[in-house]
Amino acid sequence: MNSLLQGVMQATAYALFALTLGYFASMPSYRYADANLATVKLSLTHTTERVKPCIKLTPEQIAALAANMRHTESCERERLPLTVELDVDGQTIVRSTARPSGLWNDGPASVYERFDVPAGKHTIAVRMRDSARPDGWDFEGSVATDLRPGHYFTVTFKPATGEFLFR
């Protein structure tokens, strides 16, 4: 009798545990995004220009270097910050300045921004500066698109061609 009572209590405990687990697996319901909104993501990593331009070495300077260290140019490592702006329908949504990565600020700078916009037709424009120019932009791109509710629209940059990709 004692073992029968233990078996019933154990089965009851397992059933309660399973019901509790099942409840928390489905409740409360989670909505990832508003059904009427679309998500725009700006995601890019880009290597900017150097703070100081490279200096071309003379043949004498090259010869003075160790054989395994011979280069035609001498370059400082540090790079400039990356400035990016993104507009939706003429309104600036993102204005970001990213520092270069790396111990000596010599790596690429990365920008990642994510925001929701109402679904529908929009004009998305993006501008980027990777040089020391005080104003203006080195790269620009824009696209007219129809954003669907609940979907992602991604803006990236392709350094090889110098163009923004809109997907």
- pLDDT by 10s per residue, the chain, length 167: 678 889 889 999 999 999 999 888 887 776 677 788 999 999 999 999 999 999 999 999 999 999 999 999 999 999 999 999 999 999 999 999 999 999 999 999 999 999 999 999 999 999 999 999 999 999 999 999 999 998 999 999 999 999 999 99
CA separation, residue 61 to residues 55, 76, 77, 145 (Å): 11, 16, 19, 55
Number of compact structural domains in the chain? 2
DSSP letters spanning 81-110: -EEEEEEETTEEEEEEEE---STTS-S-EE
Residues 149 and 118 in one domain: yes
Residues 85 and 151 in one domain: yes
Residue 9: its pLDDT value, please?
A: 92
Residue 27: its pLDDT value, please?
A: 79
Residues 43 and 10 in one domain: no
Q: Is residue 149 part of a domain?
A: yes
DSSP percent split of the chain into helix, strand, coil, nearest 5: 20, 45, 35
Residue 28: its pLDDT value, please?
A: 73
Residue 1: its pLDDT value, please?
A: 63
Q: Is residue 73 part of a domain?
A: no
Residues 24 and 87 in one domain: no
Q: Which of helix, strand or coil describes residue 138?
A: coil
Please give the biggest Cα pair distance in the chain: 100
What CATH number corresponds to the domain at position 113? 2.60.40
Residues 153 and 90 in one domain: yes
Residues 44 and 14 in one domain: no
In terms of DSSP bridges, do strands 37-46 and 152-158 run parallel, antiparallel, or are they unpaired? parallel
Residues 85 and 15 in one domain: no
Q: What range does the domain containing 14 cover?
A: 1-30
Residues 23 and 84 in one domain: no
